[in-house]
Chain A
Amino acid sequence: MKIAVCAKHVPEATAQRRLDPQTKRLDRSGEGTLNQFDVHAVEEALKLRDASGDGEVVIVSLGPERAFEAMRKALAMGADRVVLVSDEGAAGSDLVATSRILAAALEREGADLVLFGQQANDSDGAVLWAAVADRLQRPLISQVAELTHEDGKVRGKRQTEFGYDVIEAPLPAVIAVSDAINEPRYPSLKGIMGAKKKPQETVSLGDLGVSAGEAGEAGSRTVVYALSDPPARGDTVKIEDDGSGAEKIVQFLQEKKAL
């Protein structure tokens, strides 16, 4: 079984992320890491591959050359190879352009199963897989907290606001896993040492048959106009309880229409 995991190289450490005031986008110039949510997808892929006895886990990513370093963690965990779409023409791609590029890379791989992580910690979107699934014309199950595979079909427990659905789809399919699905393994030392030797392929937009007009800003349909400060929360009110604290809270909640 061939499993492709879409993984993203994202800037690290919450405390130090910032938006670049010039480009108004996330400053990605610093060190990057493998998006923590994608690690769960990698783990799930490895579990499926190991359970099936044979197969391949390939990591597909769109990013700068530096992204290889971040993807190495997936290789250290046990993934078999990395395919990185690295092309300046892809910079600034929004959902429409990114999904076009990734779908092309995934078509090229022809995987039985495509896995995504729950979201990227930089854009906080939870949308990429649905766009990719549509382009690939494959069934989709998202927010999967438990995944089983049998006889060419997958069953996912989808986590929604109302509880869990159980959804079944035939392979080939696209699955987005939630971070509740597993505890990712720690890469072993042997894994870390062997990671660099595993195949790491760079692919350009041209290799994928994606034209310049379909990628980057030219291929995008959304734009960022400006950055601004968050709206003021409003004044903070601090009172001492003189016995009427509870009443004052209720009053406040009613004023704010929260009760």
Chain B
Amino acid sequence: MTPLRPSEFPPSFDPNEFVVAPGEPEIEVGVLIVGAGPAGLACAIRLGQLLEEAPELVERLGEVPVAVLEKGKQPGSHLLSGAVVNPRSLRRLFKDRVPTHEMPFFGRVEHESVYFLTAKRALRIPAPPTMRNNGNYVASLSQLGRWLAGQAEEAGAVILPETTGHKLLVGDGRVRGVQTGDKGRGRNGEELPNFVPGDEVQAKVTVLAEGTQGHLTGIALDRFALQGDNPQVWALGVKEVWKVAKPLGRVIHTMGWPLRPGAKYREFGGSFIYPMGDDMVTIGMVVGLDYRDVELSVHDVLQELKTHSLVRKLLEGGERVAWGAKTIPEGGLLALPKRMHAPGLLIAGDGAGLVNVPALKGIHYAVESGRLAAEAAFSALQRGEAPGRRGALAGYDEALERSFVWSDLKQVRNMRPAFGKGFWLGGAMAGAMTASRGNFPPGDASLEDDAEQELIRTDRAKSYPVPDGKLTFDKLSSVFLSGNQTRDDAPNHLRVRDRVPPEIAELWTRMCPAQVYEVGDDAGDGDVHVEVTPSNCVQCGAITAKGGRLTPPEGGSGPEYKLT
């Protein structure tokens, strides 16, 4: 197979398509937050708290001081994570107002185990220090998001579901708000009878809290030249929630099988199995998207994982009740933007890349960054400064750099890149980094673009289990379980080259957990067409990492997660 790289087949995508000058103000809000996830909602909640004490500012901000746009059907519909949450940020956000026991957690982590798996065995290994979870809580991020949305509304925020942030309004070099997406277009973009164009929502400060692969975040990074020296890299996580017969009682992480340790495969990742109360368990597989094998399918690797005796026993007598998929930004400190603010703009959460990969944590950073963004926006507005003035929002970056978010990420900054050298060498290096608190080896590693990885082919697909509908499942029934009911004639929001070598088409077909892509007919010159079924898409973002581009689909479409 001639070496191919997905980056050689870019889609047609120009970020400038998504920047537009503001027109006459039709809808004006004070602070506009894009994304009702933990970062966006923490921002909204903190703003509500601050505005409680600042009635004159509330007056100045108009009828809607704080608005949150959410592209899913409701907050939580597009939220997915493990998750084991470090409660410190939530405690800080709510101070005494909401005690921890009222937060929608499934229980404290009391016991945990880490295993190195082979096909037949499970070897218990000591938990790496970065992975210790005492004092942390298991949660469903989707549920947590729904709860935070309720808190945000009580704090005065207006949440606007089924609404995408489609274009950035930029005038005089400052961000002035967002243009929302159109609704009621047909498959080829034509206007259907109930077509309604997007609205211009102008705001004094815009906070982008879009999560992984944030669309407007990408646009802003380009427009304001905020991109750091390293590209962002991602992992794809596919998870399920199961009703189980016996309580799990501990948090489990695994490494090793079914992933392959050799450096040439670049299969970095592992699995998590968390108890959700006594009667449910969540199990997920996370794999770095720098993998090289055309035949790798994270969804199928998850199915394979479940056939391991350790896992099979846990799920025995149980029933799958949820499924979902999402990418995770894995670049850490090295991939953060140069600055997290621009005139009139703040960037928070996963959208900025605030994830600690070795600890598998990002939610508490999202909450903290959202909180700090609120404070920065508030003080700029309070001072009566035009937040569009250069440097008015610089306080946000300063605060972030002083916070635990930064110090945590600094310590682990070189770990993920180390695993590019394979599991064993990477593991050894990670150990050295932990022991030295990130000081050894000195300096900064560098990251390679996921789409730059040369593809290889092995017989990987041979070992995927044939779905039995009881323990293992196919992609389509999984998409169904995600609650995805996107209308069939929705416009195609996925940008991929139509004609590509068959290996690229196959790469995308296997990569996508929702079976959006299929290898199509012969297109001549050895190429094939790529068949796309956009209504299957659960908006995980994997395609953006591997040679295509996910753009915002119609608001309200996609999965309707509840337990993920």
Contact = CB atoms under 8 A, between A and B. Distances in A.
A contacts B directly (C-beta below 8 A): yes
Contact of B199 (A13, A30, A190): A190
B392 to A, nearest CB: 27
Nearest to B26: A190
Given A186-B194, A188-B196, A193 B184 contact: no
Contacts of B184: 186
A206 to B, nearest CB: 30
A189 B160 contact: yes
Interface in B166-216: 180, 183-184, 192-194, 196, 199, 201
Interface string A142-156: 000000000000000
Nearest to B180: A189
Nearest to B159: A192
A192 B74 CA distance: 13
A159 to B, nearest CB: 20
A16 B562 contact: yes
B158 interface: yes
Given A13-B560, A15-B481, A185 B27 contact: no
Given A31-B562, A190-B27, A15 B193 contact: no
B155 to A, nearest CB: 14
Nearest to B200: A189
A184 to B, nearest CB: 7
Nearest to B483: A13
Contact of B74 (A31, A183, A185, A189): A31
A16 B560 CA distance: 10
B562 A189 contact: no
B193 A183 contact: yes
B163 interface: yes
Contacts of B162: 186-187
Contacts of B193: 183
Given A13-B560, A13-B562, A189 B481 contact: no
B64 interface: yes
A112 to B, nearest CB: 26
Contacts of A31: 74, 146, 562
Nearest to B556: A186
B480 interface: yes
Contacts of B480: 15
Interface string A1-38: 00000000000111110000000000000110000000
A40 to B, nearest CB: 12
Contacts of A183: 192-194
Interface in A198-235: none
B164 to A, nearest CB: 11
A190 B163 CA distance: 12
Nearest to B481: A15
B158 A193 contact: yes
A30 B562 contact: yes
A192 B160 contact: yes
B483 A16 contact: yes
A145 to B, nearest CB: 15
A75 B27 CA distance: 18
A16 B64 CA distance: 35
A30 B146 CA distance: 12
Nearest to B563: A16
Nearest to B562: A16
Nearest to B64: A193
B499 to A, nearest CB: 35
Nearest to B182: A186
B490 to A, nearest CB: 13
Contacts of B160: 189, 192-193
A66 to B, nearest CB: 12
A17 B321 CA distance: 11
Nearest to B69: A189
Contacts of A184: 194
B232 to A, nearest CB: 31
Contact of B27 (A15, A186, A193): A193
Nearest to A186: B183
A31 B480 CA distance: 19
Nearest to B194: A183
Contacts of B74: 31
B106 to A, nearest CB: 17
Contacts of B27: 189-190, 193
Contact of A186 (B26, B196, B201, B560): B196
B194 A12 contact: no
A14 B483 CA distance: 7
A68 to B, nearest CB: 13
Contacts of B183: 186
Contacts of B26: 190
A15 B196 contact: no
Contacts of A15: 480-483
A183 B201 CA distance: 26
A105 B92 CA distance: 47
A184 B162 CA distance: 15
A192 B160 CA distance: 7
A190 B183 CA distance: 14
Interface string B1-34: 0000000000000000000000000110000000
B560 A185 contact: no
Contacts of B64: 193
Nearest to B560: A13
Nearest to B161: A192
Contacts of B485: 13-14
Contacts of A16: 321, 483, 562
A15 B192 CA distance: 28
A185 B193 CA distance: 9
A15 B201 CA distance: 35
A190 B192 CA distance: 21
A142 to B, nearest CB: 24
Contacts of A13: 483, 485, 560, 562
A14 B161 CA distance: 20
A111 B158 CA distance: 32
Contacts of B560: 12-13
A189 B480 CA distance: 29
A190 to B, nearest CB: 6
Nearest to B146: A31
Interface in A160-203: 183-190, 192-193, 196
A185 B562 contact: no
A16 B196 CA distance: 30
Interface string B550-564: 000000000010100
Interface string B59-78: 00000100100000010000
A11 to B, nearest CB: 11
Nearest to A197: B63
A189 B483 CA distance: 24
Given A14-B485, A186-B196, 19 more contacts: A15-B480, A15-B481, A15-B482, A15-B483, A16-B483, A31-B74, A31-B146, A31-B562, A184-B194, A185-B194, A186-B162, A186-B184, A189-B163, A189-B180, A190-B26, A190-B199, A192-B160, A192-B161, A193-B27
| Among all A-B residue pairs, the 6 with the closest Cβ atoms | A186-B183, A183-B194, A189-B199, A13-B483, A186-B196, A183-B193
17 contacts: A15-B483, A31-B74, A31-B146, A31-B562, A183-B192, A185-B194, A185-B196, A186-B183, A186-B184, A188-B196, A189-B199, A190-B26, A190-B27, A192-B160, A193-B27, A193-B64, A193-B67
